[in-house]
């Protein structure tokens, strides 16, 4: 059986949630490079992240299921300023303390912590994720 990657994750938790959702639907799937990315998180980008591998015959259906899940999740979040559901999750190293950490991380080879915020694509408002 041939497998293809349909999504890539930088963290094993959402990867396992997606894999579990697909397994509920009877889709044959597994996670590639999960151990490498989990044990050495600073290499996650170098190895291309944790890839959700799905059987070729089931790839289109699997992607549609996960896309529908994402759409349902986005509908449950609304911008506190304008009420729009057109939201994206963003990771930024914007805090001044993060830039100091970046300098330390450069010498210590540890992953730099990022601030995660939700951004409204309609009005540009940024707020804490739910």
Position 7 scores a pLDDT of: 96
Between the alpha carbon of residue 58 and those of residues 8, 19, 64, 121, the distances in Å are: 17, 13, 10, 32
- pTM beyond 0.85, yes or no: no
The answer to whether residue 27 is domain-embedded is yes
Instruction: Identify the pLDDT of residue 100.
Output: 64
Give the C-alpha separation, 6 to 3, whole Å: 9
Within this chain, do residues 7 and 27 fall inside the same structural domain, yes or no?
yes
Predicted pLDDT of residue 122: 92
| Containing structural domain, residue 23 | 3-75
Residue 85 confidence (pLDDT): 87
Residues 24 and 63 in one domain: yes
Q: What are the 10-residue block averages of pLDDT along the chain, 130 residues in total?
A: 94 95 96 92 89 96 95 86 87 62 60 73 85
Q: Enumerate the β-bridge partners of residue 72.
A: none
Number of domains in the chain: 2
82 located within any domain = no
In a domain, 81, yes or no: no
CB atoms within 10 A of CB 99: 11
**What are the angstrom distances between the C-alpha of 10 and each of 25, 40, 92?**
24, 11, 15
Rounded Cα distance between 23 and 7, Å, is: 15
Residues 105 and 67 in one domain: no
Selection from 86, 94, 130, 87 nearest residue 112 by Cα:
94
């Amino acid at each position: 059986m041939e497998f293809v990657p349909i999504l890539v994750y930088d963290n094993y938790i959402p990867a396992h949630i997606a894999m579990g959702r697909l397994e509920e639907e009877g889709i044959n799937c597994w996670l590639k490079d999960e151990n490498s990315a989990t044990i050495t998180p600073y290499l996650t980008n170098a190895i291309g992240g944790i890839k959700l591998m799905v059987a070729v015959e089931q790839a289109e259906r699997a992607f549609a299921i996960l896309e529908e899940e994402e759409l349902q999740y986005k509908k449950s979040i609304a911008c506190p300023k304008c009420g729009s559901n057109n939201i994206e999750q963003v990771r930024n190293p914007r805090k001044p303390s993060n830039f100091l950490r970046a300098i330390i991380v450069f010498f210590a080879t540890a992953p730099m912590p990022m601030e995660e915020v939700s951004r409204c694509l309609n009005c540009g408002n940024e707020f804490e994720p739910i």
